[in-house]
Amino acid sequence: MKLLVIGSGGREHALAWCLAKTPGLQKVFVAPGNAGTAAERGLENVDITDLDALADFAEEEKVSLTIVGPEAPLAAGIVNLFRTRGLKIFGPSKEAAQLESSKDFAKRFMTRHGIPTARFASFSERASAHAYVDQQGAPIVIKTDGLAAGKGVVVAMTVDEAHAALDRMLPAEGPRAPKGSRPGQVVIEEFLEGEEASFIVMVDGKDVLPLASSQDHKRIGDGDTGPNTGGMGAYSPALVVTPEVHAKAMREIILPTVRGMAAEGMPYTGFLYAGLMIGKDGSVKTVEFNCRLGDPEAQPILMRLKSDLFTLLDHAVAGKLDQVEASWDRRVALGVVLAAANYPSTPRTGDVISGLPKASEDSEDSHVFHAGTSERDGQTVTAGGRVLCVTALGDNVKQTQKRAYNLIIGIHFDGMQYRHDIGHRAMPR
């Protein structure tokens, strides 16, 4: 049996690494993969990104199942294409992926189905957007409508910041519109207070299998300071996802979403990620939907998965998710992202990485997942913003944190930056 994982980040390395444990497996192809997936036993990189070419490849190689990591191919309709060609694939259709690819779609959908989320208004015209900000005041949140790799959101603490964000995101009207500006759309949202958690489930169109909870660290700097990133580290389980929060998230967010999408003729299949804001009053609101596993959440989550991932995926694609359960390692998993110089604005690439553990040094309770890495003249070099995710398992957050940070000591590349406090919200204060 052969499998295909699409993508090149840390999430895809973790997916492929996890799938390589499948009994009876011949190979996991990763398209296009990174230097980590190239070196891993049981994995093989294939340098294809074009959707039609990926479908041709899956057909020729008789791939049993394709799993899509990132949002871009999903939003471009890779699942629709594979299904039309009779190829098995796990992910949402282009229509269902709008839950992530359009904030406006997601917000209107949530309103139609009574799913708790921040109050919002959508604008494509500058003057009315500015007027709305003046009327609402700060703090307030401004989001670009389309996919923006975690960088299209400004949490404005002052009205001035909000106005500046609108000027950047919406084109000026009239003849003085800056060259190259495109008509855009923004969603302006009420600022939600509370603690965030990532709640990720598998969906087969009607049934839901929740994965272990996790918490991401979105800001670049220690103590949650500085600009937003794709995620600087994550751990699982997230303490804030108590059994009550879990039940509420399922009852008020996930199940109505799955039922609502089916009722609207866009049955949801694939991983569904609800970013939760958990208020002090116990309220649970949806900050965003993603139509995929989180990155870096997938790395700690999949390190804790004890069930066979392929069995779960195979049942999901067959519409039989109600017949399986997932079991989880009781330990804590925690991953620290090592990012390139200048991340998140314009990450520098081409820096040589030294001190990576060899495959022979592989340990049961840690793994270095690659993201933005590639091979050059026999050396591993940086090739993206988030370069590595050093992930460890341990009996508690403190021990796991220590284990992950000890592993980092040996790893080096010029300009390497990372947070020193991954897991801080789960530590005794």
Where along the sequence are the contacts to ligand GLY (CB under 6 A)?
150, 216, 230-231, 290, 294-295, 297
- The sign of the torsion formed by the CA atoms of 11, 71, 244, 188 equals positive
Residue 192, contacted partner among ligand AMP, ligand GLY, none, CB below 5-8 A by kind: ligand AMP
> Which residue from 30, 141, 200, 316 is in contact with ligand AMP, where contact means CB under 6 A?
141
Task: For residue 152, give both structure tokens.
Answer: 């299209």
**Residue closer to ligand AMP, measured from CB, 204 or 288:** 288
**Shortest Cβ contact with ligand GLY: which residue?**
231
The answer to whether the CB of 356 falls within 8 A of the CB of 411 is yes
Task: For residue 267, give both structure tokens.
Answer: 């049955």
Q: How far is the CB of 118 from ligand AMP (least distance, A)?
A: 4
**Residue closer to ligand AMP, measured from CB, 75 or 287:** 287
Q: How far is the CB of 321 from ligand GLY (least distance, A)?
A: 22
Position 294 contacts ligand AMP (CB under 6 A): no
The answer to whether the CB of 229 falls within 8 A of the CB of 320 is no
The answer to whether the CB of 36 falls within 8 A of the CB of 66 is no
- Which residue stretch of 148-156, 308-316, 337-345, 401-409 sits at the interface with ligand AMP (rule: CB under 6 A)? 148-156
Position 150 contacts ligand AMP (CB under 6 A): yes
- Residue 290's nearest CA partner among 282, 298, 279, 302 is 298
Residue 69, contacted partner among ligand GLY, ligand AMP, none, CB below 5-8 A by kind: none
Position 122 contacts ligand AMP (CB under 6 A): no
Q: Residue 277: which residues within 8 A CB-CB, separation 6 or more?
A: 118, 192, 193, 194, 195, 196, 284, 285, 286, 287
Q: How far is the CB of 148 from ligand AMP (least distance, A)?
A: 7
- CA dist 317 → 6, 58, 161 (Å): 16, 16, 45
Locate tokens 């799955």: which residue?
258
- CA dist 80 → 55, 76, 295 (Å): 11, 9, 24
**Residue closer to ligand AMP, measured from CB, 218 or 403:** 218
HSE of 278, CA atoms in CB hemisphere, 13 A: 20
Which residue type, as a one-letter code, is found at position 290?
N
> Which residue from 12, 71, 100, 189 is in contact with ligand AMP, where contact means CB under 6 A?
189
> Which residue from 5, 81, 192, 197 is in contact with ligand AMP, where contact means CB under 6 A?
192
Q: Residue 21: which residues within 8 A CB-CB, separation 6 or more?
A: 308, 309
> Which residue from 87, 118, 276, 416 is in contact with ligand AMP, where contact means CB under 6 A?
118
In whole angstroms, give the CA distance from residue 261 to residue 239.
30
Which residue type, as a one-letter code, is found at position 363?
S
Position 228 contacts ligand AMP (CB under 6 A): yes
> Which residue from 218, 246, 315, 386 is in contact with ligand AMP, where contact means CB under 6 A?
218
- Residue 4's nearest CA partner among 291, 305, 369, 310 is 310
Position 287 contacts ligand AMP (CB under 6 A): yes
- Which residue stretch of 28-36, 68-76, 147-155, 409-417 sits at the interface with ligand AMP (rule: CB under 6 A)? 147-155
Where do contacts with ligand AMP occur on this chain (CB under 6 A)? 118, 141, 143, 150, 153, 155, 189-192, 196, 218, 228, 275, 287-288
